[in-house]
Structure 1
């Protein structure tokens, strides 16, 4: 790819058996990165790639985001999207990587044919890692055809190698996970809610993979002895989390909010009150606005916000949403241990709490806002009343409810 990481002593990286870049000399690369003072597009992009090679993924994303803000051509924009896709792929976030690679391919087909072969090859290798071999083969063949027409022997050879290694690229399950699931597990994405990043396996387990799975595992272990009912961890190995099926449906699946002994709003309110009563001094996870607004900025810069999923009354662009959040930021935060995505789909019957990967110390209204929106959208105003009664809040701050509802649009 244009702008490969090299210095006067030669290449800074090579490709491993999985067709991923690894540093030739990590110490030399680390010393080079420590001295770097990027000031322009090329500098930020180069140091971003170098940080990625060393496994410093957060630093790499920060640097590449700064490069993205300095792009002056569509070709440069596409190359940074590819670099960002690499960072997410290397740290295990296959879904985000695929989003960025597909966008790069789409734009390159229209506006930057000179970098199309790079975009197509990166997407092909990413899909091969996820065992989507048919499409991966088609993309790598396209990359080979493009490079053959261009006549660059080095690039042609790299694509040939990728094609030869195609069947060896799917990422295997870690040993403990493979042993639990068996030699021929059955995978299904057809489940209640069909939320991304989780698969139902052998009709017994829920499997997640990547940095979000690692974050959830850490938080599940921390929450385990703090009075909150949680799904059982069947096994965790590498970056793969396997949860045992709890045998219960979510509160969102109720045909009637009042069905059962206690209403949905009352269950949510009581559970959230219990969660928010945990002392924040005990919580090692940070979800304060400094952290979350930085994450939101990254989402906007990298084009990862799904504007089609905005609330019906929100006609702002992601950039406008971010600007409004920064301008209207509350002057203080009422801190609790917050879930981060507290809605009825994330609570099972029996008040079992799911999807705790975003849990951390944050303003209580981050949870209150999402719960209220969920109850209004899927149930009725009576359930909102029941929720606040069970939570113990008689006069909610509607400005804060609106602020944190808007914040969630960027995630």
Structure 2
């Protein structure tokens, strides 16, 4: 049913000391994957799992997404959600993994009790890695109770081991990060913006972890030579990025008077113009539609899009309808710039300090313009939008492109 099912690559992996799967014979496994020609649910799923064992996470997600499209029972759908959660967990994206595991648990409780023990155990291990040991212990005890009732000695033993090693599962910080933060760091998720992938530490640092942190570090390092003010990198090791607090508020918190709104609009427009003037030939990162639409499709297939969060004029649409419209109405990309990817007032601090550059790459300029215009109009009004366009130097905005890239953002 899951990666613990003996019919799925059971002889291809073993568990390491952190309860992670590693291949027993990587060379033979790689040869089998290279020869694979998946054509149905089972073969796409098995190849996806084997690609995960080899650490080829993007390809693993592609194959498991295809398996998800081919499912014919709720039980199979749940097991693929668990497999997808494992891939995200192993690549360091704990937040997405937890979403998928929670969904698997909820669905199994409602409609597929035969896979509930798998779903509960995977969620328990994921929460243990994130340090939520009380919740993890409750889930693993539930999994053990279920498995004792099912009577499979191998599964019972795996859950017992997970419970016995529970205190060892929280993922430690890399040495350089731990040295910077000290023996008893104080973590806080209570901060402006409340982003789920950034934590305030010791009142002085912001810490991010996983593939998004790696992407942001790469872009911060590259962008620093182009005259854009950026947060200072305190330390980066493995997949952990620590940024020094800039001691400045975001432009989203500047106030709501008309005069303040125009000031925010001018600041955003001037900064975006400078960013968009960087030569695209020098940018190694790609954010064009071939890339972003593939990412959007993955988000839709894996159920990671919440239509309740859509803008008012998109309410009533399903994520699938939005994706279809994006493909049907896709514009040409003849006006490329170095785009931020999420250029909004919360991502610019006072003093023109640019934040959250993990999505930066070559893309149509309207990918940034559309989001800036939307947030400025909603939060500060029409005068702020006019000030933004004047500072940016755009006399006649292309409404069709603004509408398209605002629709694209619904899937991110």
Q: TM-score, normalised by structure 1?
A: 0.98
Kept after mapping to 2: 8 A contact 1:78/1:108: yes
Shift of the 225–140 alpha-carbon distance from structure 1 to 2, 3 Å rule, reads: same
Shift of the 10–89 alpha-carbon distance from structure 1 to 2, 3 Å rule, reads: closer
Counterpart secondary structure, 2:372: helix
Task: Give, in angstroms, the shift of residue 18 of structure 1.
Answer: 1.0
Which residue in 1 is equivalent to 2:373? 372
Q: Take 1:207 and 1:68, find their aligned partners in 2: how far apart are those partners? A: 33
Which residue in 2 is equivalent to 1:339? 340
Task: Give, in angstroms, the shift of residue 255 of structure 1.
Answer: 1.3
Kept after mapping to 2: 8 A contact 1:6/1:12: no
Which residue in 1 is equivalent to 2:177? 177
Which residue in 1 is equivalent to 2:330? 329
Kept after mapping to 2: 8 A contact 1:220/1:356: yes
- What pairs with 1:293-308 in structure 2 (closer than 5 Å)? 293-308=293-308
Which residue in 2 is equivalent to 1:74? 74
Q: Take 2:35 and 2:253, find their aligned partners in 1: how far apart are those partners? A: 55
The number of aligned residues is 411
- What pairs with 1:5-154 in structure 2 (closer than 5 Å)? 11-154=11-154
Shift of the 8–103 alpha-carbon distance from structure 1 to 2, 3 Å rule, reads: closer
Task: Give, in angstroms, the shift of residue 308 of structure 1.
Answer: 1.5
Task: Give, in angstroms, the shift of residue 257 of structure 1.
Answer: 5.3
Q: Take 2:131 and 2:245, find their aligned partners in 1: how far apart are those partners? A: 25
Which residue in 2 is equivalent to 1:407? 408
Q: Take 1:50 and 1:175, find their aligned partners in 2: how far apart are those partners? A: 31
Counterpart secondary structure, 2:226: coil
Post-superposition CA distance 1:344-364 (Å, at most 9, x none): 000000000000000000000
Which residue in 2 is equivalent to 1:220? 220
Q: Take 1:160 and 1:68, find their aligned partners in 2: how far apart are those partners? A: 30
Counterpart secondary structure, 2:67: helix
Which residue in 2 is equivalent to 1:246? 246
Task: Give, in angstroms, the shift of residue 254 of structure 1.
Answer: 1.1
Q: Which moved more, 1:9-18 or 1:175-184?
A: 9-18
- What pairs with 1:169-208 in structure 2 (closer than 5 Å)? 169-208=169-208
Q: Take 2:389 and 2:27, find their aligned partners in 1: how far apart are those partners? A: 56
Counterpart secondary structure, 2:359: coil
Counterpart secondary structure, 1:313: helix
Kept after mapping to 1: 8 A contact 2:262/2:383: no
Which residue in 1 is equivalent to 2:279? 279
Post-superposition CA distance 1:365-400 (Å, at most 9, x none): 000000000001111000000000000000000000
| Gap runs ≥5 in structure 2 | none
Post-superposition CA distance 1:33-65 (Å, at most 9, x none): 000000000000000000000000000000000
| Gap runs ≥5 in structure 1 | none
RMSD of aligned residue pairs (Cα, Å): 1.5
Which residue in 1 is equivalent to 2:398? 397
Task: Give, in angstroms, the shift of residue 306 of structure 1.
Answer: 1.6
Shift of the 34–228 alpha-carbon distance from structure 1 to 2, 3 Å rule, reads: same
